């Protein structure tokens, strides 16, 4: 079972395929709730399909993970 800090990043992963808007909502919620997994999201393979979306770079900048 996931701890409370992992719930939002896990929820985002369930929305990556076909529910991109929901995935970004959960990733933003992950950041807002200081989910420990947020710091690793740039390297998460399951989020790779989101990298082409303009919201991806915006979110990375917000989090402080942009190149």
The whole-number average pLDDT for the span 33-52 is 87
Domain with 55 in it: 4-63
Dihedral sign computed on CA atoms, order 41, 2, 32, 28: positive
The whole-number average pLDDT for the span 47-53 is 91
Which has more confidence, 39 or 54?
Answer: 54
Which has more confidence, 50 or 7?
Answer: 50
* Cβ-defined contacts of 38-43 (< 8 Å, 24+): 38/9, 38/63, 39/63, 39/65, 41/9, 41/65
Average of per-residue pLDDT values in the chain: 81
The total number of structural domains in the chain stands at 1
How far is the C-alpha of 49 from the C-alpha of 59, rounded, in Å? Answer: 15
How far is the C-alpha of 17 from the C-alpha of 39, rounded, in Å? Answer: 21
Residue located via tokens 């190149």: 67
């Amino acid at each position: 079972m996931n701890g409370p800090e992992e719930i939002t990043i896990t929820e985002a992963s369930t929305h990556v395929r076909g529910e991109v808007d929901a995935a970004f909502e959960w990733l933003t919620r992950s950041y807002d709730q200081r989910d420990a997994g947020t710091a690793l999201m740039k390297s998460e393979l399951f989020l790779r399909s989101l990298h082409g979306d303009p919201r991806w770079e915006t979110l990375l900048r917000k989090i402080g993970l942009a190149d």
